[in-house]
Chains A and B, each alone.
Chain A
């Protein structure tokens, strides 16, 4: 027990608390959102998370190193010597995944497509997250008519099919066909419109829950300004669920982009590679027995969406203690938690409770073996 001195006040039980979670200095790396979850996951939940992470990382790497990996450019239709690529050629040494009806190299287009997909995700998420979070904070904290109006608008947007909105946006922004950035922005903004309500609702729900808690009231009693309460207390405490929505929305962003491309509102093939467009062009091939033009972009879409969704779903399960699986110890092990708040209790190592108890009641020879019934008879 640290003794009180002239300069400091000792508190009984101090040294025991030192040994609690506080002293376990973890590396900053292990506190990062996804890494932390990876640490606590077990069993099939860990498997799901790892598969998702591997798939996602794979596509990220492909997107970054697309110029190195792809043998040809996304819009390239001729060899360096000026002769054109064959059209609808089956997989060969020059074109390992074959060529399309338009004479593009399938492998190169699929690789470059990863880059477009990743950029689309980033644009969609960045555009929607800030506005959604801000609106959620304001709406949740102030309540009243602002809240009602925003919630009604959010509900109204839910009733639109997101692809319809995306098509509208694509036409508004670029008149249907567009450049790489035009296409990405069109899908990005349309996705934004659909996703703002999701961020808005999640943050709002958290804010409504937190604003009633004692620490927010405490700041109000102190006289803290509304801005301070919103930024210091509410914002930081309500972003817990964001990683989950973020990942799930990313996968939907890709699907929307691919859907736009498939319907012909996406990005022109000369501006950027886009899986949805390639799928659209390969529709006729499928009946003709040309499988390679459809399978590879299709697989790419399925795998990237699967990967991101797996990450999102596992994060979701891990964030909820009721859904999180834990290993069973199989036998009675573990130390006794030092939950005692008795200020007079002596500090001791967790497993020495018995020794301590025995030492404390050394006089009492009856010790632990006395049953209630026996003790009753004695007394």
Chain B
């Protein structure tokens, strides 16, 4: 279909619909995305983000859209309510029916008041980051009422009653009081509930949820997914959920759309996608998803598994913490905040210790303290024989050569104005192994090849590499000085699953070959299960459980660990259904 139109020429939308070849589709699907293409004008020229996408959203169902970053998922969802920047041009049509089943409208041809009525009224959006969606200077009640007012509810008392009612429905306790609270008085999960309440209050037929749980911890994620299920079952709405997490899809979706580079490669119901994937890409995507209990075995070229040469249990201790406490000073009159509260652990050489916890549990702080980025406030932390409590930089500097650090965000961990070679060579030059980048060139090339990047990438700038490649280069930098201790702070959480699989494989192989001690910090239990010898679970600055990986994964002793494991969605719809029942049992037992 060649109906190309920009923002200017969609006056008289209804008339145009009659005249044009674009006619509303028959059938009773809530929404039909019909041959949608979107292109953007950037500084580098026009770019097509979505190309001829076609799928339907049935009534009362959850449609999951999966695909790697940049595959056009978000642009497709935003097109459904025409929430696109000025530089975007669209073609095709997005047909949206109202709840009561009256005629369909092509959203792309609407403007002004008609479009406003559709937004919120017919289709509402839930964004990824609840913190930036809620306005911090208004109460949540005000913000919910704002939507009601915009859609014609004039009576003040009625609006307020409605706001309280919807807050109760999404599970905000004591809603009548808390309707007057400000966003900062709620936790991240509660904020996302409020955002969903804002979407639900107008009773729209369609809720577009763009990565609604990505910024949240697994336990909170499970609650939000329950809430979206409630939106389908009780409110009778359809939900379009965008995610890169196959576990979330298995948990909630009825239908799945798999996107790849601006195209829909496969669409079908959830069982078909998971058990009978038709397309190669879907199969690869599913194969890359980490699962609990799946040990990562790396094989060399002859197909023999790569094993460590020594048993880590017999190796000397690299890091030893006894009653380690780290506090952040409080601001004006506020008490200090204790991030890490008297923890004990050891890391042996050639051991991989997995450190798992939700955000704010103190896991990153622990890692940063070992690397000397964070001052130790109490207890003892011995890193490679140096006591870190009260250490002077001068005394610790020689030991820095033996410590590598891999950061979470591959985007910001390289100096953007230096080439990959300069970045990777920095530790070598700082510690005087080479006098200049030119001298180190051969060795840097070897390092890049070790992490499976071609030598030619040396002269590139960081932004010219993809996220996965950058993270591999980051690993090369961490290993440049052949460290005996590597701290990896969420090294794969910013990566797509297929890339994550590659990086983890590489990591495992290098660890087996070089035999460095490693603290692997992550929030993903499935990832840590693939790599770690021992696992340490942190919660609110304390160690909840600590022991061999198999022991903890199979027979968790502590309720918190059990809850964490049960909250992690399994990328298998049938198994996940049982898994979810277990979680609900666990939560019920907790409350009793």
Residues of A within 8 A of B (CB): 2, 8-11, 13-14, 17, 20-22, 40, 213-215, 217-225, 228, 232-233, 236-237, 324, 326-345, 353-354, 357, 360-361, 364, 368-373, 375-376, 378-379
Given contacts A344-B284, A364-B279, A379-B272, contact A329 B39 (CB under 8 A): yes
Q: Which residue in chain B gives the minimum CB-CB distance to A219?
A: B426
Contacts of B502 in A (CB 8 A): 343
- Please tell me which one of the listed residues A22, A223, A341, A368 contacts residue B460 in the complex, with CB atoms under 8 A apart: A22
B516 is an interface residue with CB less than 8 A from chain A: no
Mostly, the B contact residues are mixed
Residues of B within 8 A of A (CB): 4, 6, 27, 29, 32, 37-49, 51-52, 54-58, 63, 68-71, 86-87, 89-91, 254-255, 257, 260-265, 267-269, 271-272, 276, 278-281, 284-285, 371-373, 397, 400-401, 403-405, 407-409, 412-418, 423, 426-427, 430-431, 449, 452-455, 460, 464-469, 477, 495-496, 498-499, 502
Q: In the complex the two chains form, is A336's CB within 8 Å of B47's CB?
A: yes
CA distance A378 to B87 in the complex (A): 40
Q: In the complex the two chains form, is B449's CB within 8 Å of A353's CB?
A: no
Tell me how far the C-beta of A325 lies from the nearest C-beta in chain B, rounded to whole angstroms: 9
Contacts of A376 in B (CB 8 A): 58, 254-255, 268-269, 272
Q: In the complex the two chains form, is B265's CB within 8 Å of A339's CB?
A: no
Contacts of A334 in B (CB 8 A): 39-41, 45-48
Contacts of A343 in B (CB 8 A): 468, 498-499, 502
Contacts of B416 in A (CB 8 A): 215, 237
Given A217-B373, A357-B260, A373-B56: 18 more A-B contacts, CB < 8 Å = A9-B454, A20-B464, A219-B426, A327-B41, A328-B6, A332-B37, A334-B39, A336-B48, A336-B262, A341-B499, A342-B499, A343-B499, A353-B263, A357-B263, A360-B279, A370-B268, A378-B268, A379-B268
Q: What are the nearest 8 A-B pairs in CB distance?
A: A339-B70, A334-B46, A223-B400, A214-B413, A375-B268, A379-B272, A222-B427, A214-B407
Q: In the complex the two chains form, is A342's CB within 8 Å of B68's CB?
A: yes
Q: In the complex the two chains form, is B56's CB within 8 Å of A371's CB?
A: yes
Tell me how far the C-beta of B563 lies from the nearest C-beta in chain A, rounded to whole angstroms: 31
Tell me how far the C-beta of B328 lies from the nearest C-beta in chain A, rounded to whole angstroms: 14
Given contacts A353-B262, A371-B54, A376-B255, contact A332 B407 (CB under 8 A): no
- Please tell me which one of the listed residues A9, A228, A332, A364 contacts residue B38 in the complex, with CB atoms under 8 A apart: A332
Given contacts A334-B39, A370-B267, A371-B55, contact A340 B278 (CB under 8 A): no
Tell me how far the C-beta of A359 lies from the nearest C-beta in chain B, rounded to whole angstroms: 10
Contacts of B284 in A (CB 8 A): 342, 344
CA distance A151 to B43 in the complex (A): 37
Tell me how far the C-beta of B466 lies from the nearest C-beta in chain A, rounded to whole angstroms: 5
Interface centre among A237, A338, A343 (most CB of B within 10 A): A343
- Please tell me which one of the listed residues A9, A20, A372 contacts residue B55 in the complex, with CB atoms under 8 A apart: A372
Tell me how far the C-beta of B60 lies from the nearest C-beta in chain A, rounded to whole angstroms: 13
Q: In the complex the two chains form, is A237's CB within 8 Å of B417's CB?
A: yes
Given contacts A14-B454, A332-B37, contact A218 B407 (CB under 8 A): yes
Given contacts A223-B397, A372-B57, contact A330 B89 (CB under 8 A): yes
- Please tell me which one of the listed residues B29, B263, B408, B414 contacts residue A215 in the complex, with CB atoms under 8 A apart: B414
6 contacts between A and B (CB under 8 A): A8-B449, A13-B466, A327-B41, A329-B87, A336-B261, A337-B70
Tell me how far the C-beta of B219 lies from the nearest C-beta in chain A, rounded to whole angstroms: 27
Q: In the complex the two chains form, is B415's CB within 8 Å of A237's CB?
A: yes
Contacts of A14 in B (CB 8 A): 454
Given contacts A215-B413, A353-B261, contact A333 B39 (CB under 8 A): yes
CA distance A220 to B396 in the complex (A): 12
CA distance A342 to B502 in the complex (A): 10
CA distance A224 to B430 in the complex (A): 6
Contacts of A22 in B (CB 8 A): 460, 464
- Please tell me which one of the listed residues B27, B86, B261, B285 contacts residue A373 in the complex, with CB atoms under 8 A apart: B27
Contacts of A221 in B (CB 8 A): 371-373, 400, 403-405
Q: In the complex the two chains form, is B415's CB within 8 Å of A333's CB?
A: no
CA distance A327 to B39 in the complex (A): 13
Contacts of B38 in A (CB 8 A): 332
Q: Which residue in chain B gives the minimum CB-CB distance to A360?
A: B280
Contacts of A214 in B (CB 8 A): 407-409, 412-413
